[in-house]
Amino acid sequence: MKMTMRFYGKDYDSVTLEQLRQIRYVEGLISTLYYKQAGELWERDEIRALKNDIEGAGLELSGIESVNIHDAIKIGTPDRDMYIENYIKTLENLGEEGIDLVCYNFMPIFDWTRSELAKPRPDGSTVLAYDQSVVDKINPDNLKEYMDANSNGFVMPGWEPERLGKLKELFEAYKDVDAEKLFNNLVYFLKAIMPTCEKYGIKMAIHPDDPAWSVFGLSRIITCKENLLRMLNAVPSVYNGVTFCMGSLGSNPDNDLVDLVHALKGRIHFAHIRNLKHTAPGQFEEACHLSADGSFDLAAVVKALHDDGFDGVIRPDHGRMLWGEKAMPGYGLYDRALGAAYICGLWEMVSKS
């Protein structure tokens, strides 16, 4: 496995390349062109500039998270083919620059959703939290303002203001997109891009929906073993794969994470390792990576990945906000660096036993 950290680019991230380079456990970074809107073409020189920044700091660009999918593709409107063409050109440009891993998600309108971005813990650190009963009371029109007011001044991934300024239109456009239609639109997209992925050796790794159930009445399909396997079987190329995000899949306590690792064997290209604590049905708060701090057995998941011969990219996922750090919620330096060290320790132990 290769340990990495997520990096939003030097103009957007509060964590610097110099800091990331000193996390000895990390070999590469997962990054993105954060300023790109979904559907926009990524030019080769832009990709090369990102690579140069990262390589200049002695690290490698290990993959992209994310190349976002335009709503036309998810909704299946007549102009989707134009957006798929753009996506294919972006993949070609990434392939020409030697990038072989692309994470993306297929959630309608909203990316990952939380009801609280800085929930205090007894030790003074803060975490992201989710409470379905709170979310049920939020008018989605106000959610954008809520996120803006609570994200420490950073633009949250998937919550780009340009797009969320048009929420009413978006909800209207999605009103007939049920789970079956969304699934078919995903398969249509994957079939169209697979020849390019195969040509360049680009592994597509869909990120599960977070939380792993429908929110605001919008369909969500990448939520459980049955749906993941259906998606993998519909497009059986090995380049059609999965980001195994523990926190997203584990948001639903019915998902058995170790069983899922084995069920998805050979198709997991990217792993997001983190922990969270279930506090009540439909309610969870994020935790430190240590198994004892949350509801997940990280050692068992790391062992399952190791035993299945996983040789993809791993990164720690959302961390607590520690030591007064001001950063994008979930993406501070300190707790993710501690997470990387912990996961590497687990990996070394399973490798040697």
Residue numbers of the site for Mn ion (CB under 5 A)? 245, 272, 317
User: In the complex, what is the shortest distance from the CB of residue 320 to Mn ion, in angstroms, rounded to a whole number?
Assistant: 16
Greatest Cα pair distance, the chain, in angstroms, is 55
Closest CB to Mn ion among residues 6, 70: 6
Q: Which residue has the tokens 């396997």?
A: 229
Q: Minimum CB separation from Mn ion for residue 227, in Å?
A: 17
How does strand 60-65 pair with strand 101-105?
parallel
Find the catalytic residue in 103, 245, 288, 344: 245
Nearest residue (CB) to Mn ion, 189 versus 270? 270
Residue 57 vs 155, nearer CB to Mn ion: 155
Q: Looking at beta carbons, which residue is closest to Mn ion?
A: 245
13, 71, 210, 317: the catalytic one is 317
Does residue 318 have an active-site annotation? yes
Choice between 181 and 225, CB closer to Mn ion: 225
Report whether 36 contacts 23 (CB < 8 A): no
- Minimum CB separation of residue 178 from Mn ion in Å reads 25
> Could you confirm whether 272 is annotated as catalytic?
yes
Backbone conformation region of residue 94, classed left if phi is above 0, alpha if psi is from -120 to 50, else beta: alpha
**One-letter amino acid of 115:** S
Catalytic residue among 70, 289, 306, 318: 318
Task: Look at residues 151, 95, 274 and name the one whose alpha carbon lies nearest to residue 160.
Answer: 151
Catalytic residue among 207, 269, 289, 306: 207
Residue 191 CB, nearest distance to Mn ion (Å)? 25
Closest to Mn ion by CB, 53 or 210? 210
Marked catalytic residue, from 70, 269, 272, 306: 272
Give the shortest CB-151-to-Mn ion separation in angstroms: 17
| Residues with active-site annotation | 207, 245, 272, 317-318, 331
